[in-house]
Structure 1
């Protein structure tokens, strides 16, 4: 299983870090997995699935 950092997702989607966290606040983005108090990662599969579910995906 591959995990992505927020910077990886920013590059994939062409959005800012604040946009990703806003989507999370709006419950419109996959929940990350906490690896430690300061480290979170997203599953690549979850992000790819989310992309395909978007109107422009």
Structure 2
């Protein structure tokens, strides 16, 4: 069994979409097709979450690549 650090904030697909300014279907598409995109964690059969820290790192990396 894998344990997640208690200080790791987990967010839903809608929150990921809002942070990135894209739709939820695009979040799912990118998570399957884009190797650099943050990968979701399967909490249960019907619950998936992303680490907020992973999403923030992704945003920072994209911002750095623009400059």
Query: Is the shorter-chain TM-score for this pair beyond 0.5, marking a shared fold?
Result: yes
- Counterpart residue number, 2:23: 16
What CA RMSD, in Å, does the superposition of the two structures yield over aligned residues? Answer: 1.2
- Counterpart residue number, 1:7: 14
RCO higher in 1 or 2 (8 Å CA, sep ≥ 6)?
1
Q: CA deviation at 1:28?
A: 3.4
Question: Residues 1-57 of structure 1, C-alpha deviation per residue, up to 9 Å, x if partnerless?
Answer: 11010011111111111111111121231111111000010011110001111134x
Higher alpha-carbon Rg: 2
TM-score where L is the length of structure 1:
0.84
Where do 5+ consecutive residues of structure 1 fail to align?
Answer: none
> How many matched pairs?
56
TM-score where L is the length of structure 2:
0.73
Aligned counterparts of 1:4 and 1:37: Cα–Cα separation in 2: 16
